Structure 1
Amino acid sequence: MPIDHAVLEEETIELVRDLIRIESVNTGDPATIGDGEAIAARYVAERLAEAGIESEYVEPAPGRGNLVARIAGSDASAGALVVHAHLDVVPVDAADWSVPPFAAEVLDDGRHGEVLYGRGAVDMKGFAGTVVAVARALRRARVVPRRDLILAFFADEEAGGAWGADWLVENRPDLFEGATEAIGEVGGFSVPVPRTTGPRRAYLLATAEKGVGWGILRARGSAGHASRPTRDNAVARIARAVAALHDHEFPVVRTDASAGFLAAFGDLTGRDLTGDGADLEHELDRLGFVGDIVRAGLRDSATPTILSAGYKVNVIPGEAVAEIDTRILPGREGALEREVERLVGDGVSVEWRSMPPTAAPVDAPLVDVLRAAVAAEDPDGVVVPYLLPASTDHKNLSRLGIAGYGFAPLRVPDDFDVFGLFHAVDERVPLSALRFGARVTARIVRSA
């Protein structure tokens, strides 16, 4: 029985709006988080149960709800595919929004047609609602996917997943038994290809993610009265270290993911993206916001974010501290840390904690499935790999040997920057994009 796409599309919109109205805000502080994630997870469980799909609800801490369901496939020898989304959202300041952030209002903005506004519209209740709608559509149409589907709805992604994917991987790996690949955030959004012939849109597929590390820099010096300056002032030492990091430019490194993007966009646009220096920067500038996305995935980074020293203006402190955020390219594990320690110099110690980068094959059969699904719904679209400079729950799943791909498909107008709406004021998504995403996701999960 064929899937009724009209029902699928409208149900997707309904489910996404319902999820946005559940205020599952993750402040990072257990005292203020509440039970929104639990309410959202139970809502998903109810909608799946209506279609006869059983699920398991897991609450590692009060209010931190996770949900996992498995749909059996026809090929028992094929590895299971995890399709995942997180149910928490970042906080909002409602005063900054032009609409109530949890009302899930649909407005015609005069440029992109009907647009759904609300926290989580793209990050990532839009995809969560899509996955639920697709699962219900498969069951109604009695479609059996080729491989087992593990539908996972996580809590706490916005704070690292300690009560979500991280906890489940550590404590309930059985829920992901047999899984070999996963799709989730961040990718699948269309971006314009500046060319008059050939493909007009590229759908960016995240095949890799930068690792994330946090360093605490400590400088020691002689404490004393500020009227008697010392040569080994801890504040000056930490300031020099921070300035050295800020001024340093890490080299361009072409990972498989970034090389795949540069090669594909070079072919699509007829531009030379083979350089490493000013020529490449110029060509990326010409790609607009797409160039900014890719630029962030070409180099390691070390960004000072917090400084602390002293307790009284006329006292020279004995210690000064700086905290830095680092983003590490696949294959550069350890190298970035050594470079940072060299740059800050003697007299400054560094304490590290980090999550390693991830990388999945850019030529896997699943990638061919994604390409075919997009081509069926958008003949002018092409799937292009890229490297995500941020972190998602793929990092947690990768510890189970699951290769992660960022692909939550949305076809949007050329001037609509989905990437720029993550955590942004007036987060929103065109309804036409959600309808497209539902059709493409249905094609992916039934044949992957």
Structure 2
Amino acid sequence: MHGTWGDDEVVALASELIAIDTSNTGDPTAPGTERAAAEYVAAKLSEVGYEPTYVESGAPGRGNVVVRLPGADPTRGALLVHGHLDVVPADAREWSVHPFSGEVRDGYVWGRGAVDMKGMVAMTLAVARAFKRAGVVPPRDLVFAFLADEEAGGFYGARWLVEHRPELFEGVTEAISEVGGFSVTLADDARAYLVETAEKGVMWLRLRVRGSAGHGSMLYDDNAVARLAAAVSRLDAHRFPLVLTEPVRELLTGVAEITGVPFDEGDPEAAVARLGNLSRMIGATLRDTANVTMFEAGYKANVVPSEARATVDGRMLPGRERAFEAELARLLGPEVELEWDSLPPVQTTFDGALVEGMAAAIAAEDPGARVLPYMLSAGTDAKSFQLLGIRHFGFAPLRLPPDLDFSALFHGVDERVPVDALTFGTRVLHRLLRDC
């Protein structure tokens, strides 16, 4: 006998999904890894009566599954609930448990993807199955999408589907997905649940400097390695201008109301510093960032190479795209050749019936808690779905222990999610989607 909410099976679903290794290296020539997880999801949906659509997005193995649950009012805009099946790689030697074990231990489900984002995929799947079993007719159409390639920008996932299979999302006006809805304990037992209403844009830059090649014992004034190293050092030392955006202002104002500590708009960095473990993530939404992540040059100790290459992960605030590009070009200088892939920022307002529904669903399970907006420093598949005019929120609800450094678990060693948080989130998601 299955529970009304679907929270009775969410832990098993999460564990089994984590045990399917869907590591995404970001290499577009590598074989896709999502197919097995997509087939698992499709089987779980078929088992309760859905007729899932399975699509491979642009390359073999890049599996996606989409189903639609008709609502009572087909004239209303549909709600998309989406999650990605791929995960970033993990080195088992660094972990306390095997990263693809899905082990349930000490009140947590452990493994790569537990928080990013197979936990939310399991919650979504549990609710979708519970609705079908119970014959639930939601107020409007619900589209459930389980997607490939988010960890490499979604070019072989959400972006491909938006460009080649937009009919799967016909009539969708709003969406919810990852990196929002999690709790933050701010004072005593006062909790706020942060809903993502904006996210920074992405620019993955490939830098190259060319110079003279030759014997390492000779003199050079155009050493490509040294010149590129100097350029990325300038970039690393640079601090982009501080910009207080509306989502960050609303978040810090709400935190001030809960804690009783005033928020000085003239010094937002001081307010962010008081957020504890969250300060690194929220602090990154006060300005653009550009971090050097890879550096490649040379092949032998006594040979000066003819070129050096580096990769930079750039993130810019909404409205800062052109200014960010100009500032990068000025910092790096004309001798650095630039190529890049980019994804746009995302931003919406913190209002409307869906936001009210989120607040009501949270309050029903955690009375007295507040719901606040925030901006994500990273990116999600919302960047692709906004091309269809879909309004997006990050809402994967989890009630977390006060001492858990949640943001550090994303792409981190010993990634894990509390069992109680998964069952809590499934109940919240059930309430929201039943009444949305």
Are 1:55 and 2:52 counterparts?
yes
Alpha-carbon distance, 1:430 to partner: 1.4
Q: What corresponds to 1:428 in structure 2?
A: 416
Q: What corresponds to 1:28 in structure 2?
A: 26
On the 8 A contact 2:5/2:427 being kept in 1, the answer is: no
Q: What corresponds to 1:270 in structure 2?
A: 260
On the 8 A contact 2:5/2:426 being kept in 1, the answer is: no
Between 184-193 and 222-231, the greater mean CA deviation after superposition = 222-231
Change (3 A) 1:137 1:245: same
- CA displacement 1:404-430 (0-9 Å, x = unmatched): 211100101111222221222222111
Q: TM-score, normalised by structure 1?
A: 0.90
User: Quick one: which amino acid aligns to residue 260 of structure 1?
Assistant: E
The 5 A counterparts of 1:55-94 are 55-60=52-57, 61-94=59-92
- CA displacement 1:340-392 (0-9 Å, x = unmatched): 11122343343333111111222232111111111111113211111111111
Q: What corresponds to 2:405 in structure 1?
A: 417
Instruction: Tell me the C-alpha RMSD between the 2 structures.
Output: 2.4
Q: What corresponds to 1:132 in structure 2?
A: 125
On the 8 A contact 1:256/1:362 being kept in 2, the answer is: no
Q: What corresponds to 2:336 in structure 1?
A: 348
Between 73-82 and 55-64, the greater mean CA deviation after superposition = 55-64
Are 1:400 and 2:388 counterparts?
yes
Q: What secondary structure sits across from 2:7 in the alignment?
A: helix
Alpha-carbon distance, 1:139 to partner: 2.4
User: Quick one: which amino acid aligns to residue 249 of structure 2?
Assistant: A
Inter-partner Cα distance in structure 2 for 1:228 and 1:431? 62
Q: What corresponds to 1:305 in structure 2?
A: 293
Q: 1:368 aligns with which of 356, 368, 391?
A: 356
Change (3 A) 1:317 1:70: same
Between 326-335 and 22-31, the greater mean CA deviation after superposition = 22-31
Change (3 A) 1:309 1:423: closer
On the 8 A contact 2:31/2:60 being kept in 1, the answer is: no
On the 8 A contact 2:252/2:272 being kept in 1, the answer is: no
The 5 A counterparts of 1:9-408 are 9-29=7-27, 33=31, 35=33, 37-60=34-57, 61-108=59-106, 114-194=107-187, 200-221=190-211, 229-276=219-266, 279-310=267-298, 317=305, 319-408=307-396
Q: What secondary structure sits across from 2:268 in the alignment?
A: helix
Inter-partner Cα distance in structure 2 for 1:234 and 1:27? 28
Change (3 A) 1:65 1:215: closer
Q: What secondary structure sits across from 1:10 in the alignment?
A: coil
Change (3 A) 1:24 1:224: closer
Q: What secondary structure sits across from 1:217 in the alignment?
A: strand
Change (3 A) 1:222 1:102: closer
Inter-partner Cα distance in structure 1 for 2:262 and 2:299? 54
Between 212-221 and 435-444, the greater mean CA deviation after superposition = 212-221
Q: What secondary structure sits across from 1:334 in the alignment?
A: helix
On the 8 A contact 1:262/1:274 being kept in 2, the answer is: no
Alpha-carbon distance, 1:29 to partner: 4.4
On the 8 A contact 1:195/1:268 being kept in 2, the answer is: no
User: Quick one: which amino acid aligns to residue 337 of structure 1?
Assistant: E
Alpha-carbon distance, 1:258 to partner: 1.4
Inter-partner Cα distance in structure 1 for 2:306 and 2:126? 59
Alpha-carbon distance, 1:299 to partner: 0.7
Inter-partner Cα distance in structure 1 for 2:171 and 2:121? 22
Alpha-carbon distance, 1:240 to partner: 2.6
**Which sections of structure 1, spanning at least 5 residues, go unmatched?**
109-113
On the 8 A contact 2:7/2:427 being kept in 1, the answer is: yes
- Equivalent pairs counted in the alignment come to 435
**Which sections of structure 2, spanning at least 5 residues, go unmatched?**
none
User: Quick one: which amino acid aligns to residue 98 of structure 1?
Assistant: S
Inter-partner Cα distance in structure 1 for 2:216 and 2:109? 58
Alpha-carbon distance, 1:153 to partner: 0.3
Change (3 A) 1:189 1:308: same
Inter-partner Cα distance in structure 2 for 1:344 and 1:30? 27
- CA displacement 1:39-77 (0-9 Å, x = unmatched): 222222222222222221112333221100001111222
